[in-house]
Amino acid sequence: MPIDLKDSRNRDYVSSLFCEYLQREHRSDLIRLTTQPAHVHFSLVVHFNYLCEFDNLFSELLLIRPLDTLLLLDEGLRAALKLNCIESDKPTTHNPFLNVHTRLTALPVIPEVHRETIPWSSDVGKFIALRGTVSRVGPVQVLQGRMMFTCSKCGFQFYVDANFESHFSIKPPRFCPNRDLPCSSPYLRPSPDRVFYAKNYQEVWIHERFRCLTVGVMPRSISASFEDDLLETVKPGDDVVINGIVTRRWQPPKDGVPCGILLWIKVNYVENLSELKTGVNASHVPSERVAEFESFWSKHNTFLDALESRNILLRSLCPEVCGMYLVKLSLALLLAGAPEWSCSTRKFI
């Protein structure tokens, strides 16, 4: 039974657990993010497989409560950045790390997560990885992300975030949310703020790939929202895999017209397969994993030691299957590939 995220202690536990994972596996990325300016949006790409190896709790929470889980991951990232600044004797008052985001990649290839077809209304609230083709890209927009309100009775000030489902409209609550001094006044007014909390936003239309459809079936499409550092990462015609939450968006109400509801995907991470094929974008592998790979092979200087290292990797490939050395060796060679052969120079590139 997964933990209840409505309890503040459980929420603190999840964010602190993710903070511990970042301190162990993404130390160099944390150092890089602490040197970035505070007003620019930056993200940390986390391999979900590595995160589940650290603790399987994250996989359960992402399938059941994806929106709350992503918010807790962002809180854990901010806590890890502040802790890293404290350890390096850097001040954190000038940079509260409000513009950092956690991006999840390498989701498990299971039917509940990976999709080749456009989701339906029954999939609302699920975190999925949709593979499709970009058909249209909208312009970049700047929206107000939050607004400050003040209670006319008790003077309590609070922020209200823009609601994604109602097209980023900002509506205050019906009553004052002050809990220190019980106040239920309905008189709330906007307050001037020195900082304008802007949010970058872009709409992208994704349609199904033709090769995944049967004969006579027209491809369906869905709109996806790209925010902050994900802007302008795709263009029409790109094959992409978008990781995000399926949600609804309500059309603005009009007199005498039924309210319209559309399905959207709030994107957390996008993988441009077209760039991967052309070699434009490198894989987001943590530097700690790269150092671990280099350290493993640097211990063996002779050819016989290298063969023994290869056998160690082969034994870790499908460890439940005993023996079958040649089959595992063939599979490993197929996965690793080979350098490109140039016909003109008759050499490997």
pLDDT of residue 246: 93
Reply yes or no on whether the pLDDT at 253 is more than 80.
no
Q: CB atoms < 10 A from the CB of 246, how many?
A: 23
Q: Do 145 and 93 have their domain in common? A: no
Q: Count, in order, helices (H) and strands (E) of the chain.
A: 9, 14
Residue 177 located in a structural domain: yes
pLDDT at 238 over 80: yes
- Kindly state the average pLDDT of the residues 57-73: 89
SS3 content of the chain, % helix, strand, coil (to 5): 35, 25, 40
Q: Are residues 304 and 253 in the same domain?
A: no
The answer, as to whether pTM is greater than 0.95, is: no
State how far the Cα of 5 lies from the Cα of 72, in Å rounded to an integer: 10
Q: Tell me which of 106, 134, 150 is where a domain ends.
A: 106
Phi, psi of 314 (to 5 degrees): -65, -35
pLDDT-based confidence at 16, cuts 50/70/90?
Answer: very high
Confidence category of residue 326, pLDDT binned at 50, 70, 90? confident
Q: Where are the beta strands (DSSP E) in the chain?
A: 42-47, 100-105, 114-115, 127-137, 141-144, 146-151, 157-161, 188-190, 198-207, 221-227, 239-250, 261-272, 341-342, 347-348
Domain boundary among 106, 124, 155: 106
**90-94, 134-138, 184-188: segment of lowest average pLDDT:** 90-94
Per-residue pLDDT of 223-233, as tens digits, reads 999 988 888 88
The 10s digit of each residue's pLDDT in 147-199 is 889 888 888 888 888 888 888 888 888 888 887 777 888 888 888 877 777 78
Q: Centre a 10 Å sphere on the Cβ of residue 236 and count the other Cβ atoms it contains.
A: 11
The answer to whether residues 311 and 253 belong to one domain is no
Stretch 68-95: mean pLDDT, rounded? 78
Containing domain of residue 85, as a range? 1-106
Lowest mean pLDDT segment, chosen from 67-81, 115-129, 153-167 = 153-167
pLDDT at 319: 74
Shared domain check, 115 and 84: no
Q: Is residue 252 part of a domain?
A: yes
Q: Which two tokens stand for residue 69?
A: 């889980």
Residues 11 and 82 in one domain: yes
> Average pLDDT over the chain, rounded to whole?
82
Task: Give me the pLDDT at residue 10, please.
Answer: 87
Which is more confident, 318 or 22?
Answer: 22
Q: How far is CA 167 from the centre of its chain?
A: 21
In a domain, 279, yes or no: no
* 131 falls within a domain: yes
Is residue 1 pLDDT above 70, yes or no?
A: no
> 137 with 235: CB under 8 angstroms?
yes
Give the pLDDT band (50/70/90) at residue 95.
Answer: low
Where does the pLDDT of residue 322 fall: very low under 50, low under 70, confident under 90, or very high at 90 and above? confident
Q: What is the CATH number of the domain that holds 23?
A: 3.30.1640.10
Round to whole Å and give the CA distance between 325 and 330. 9
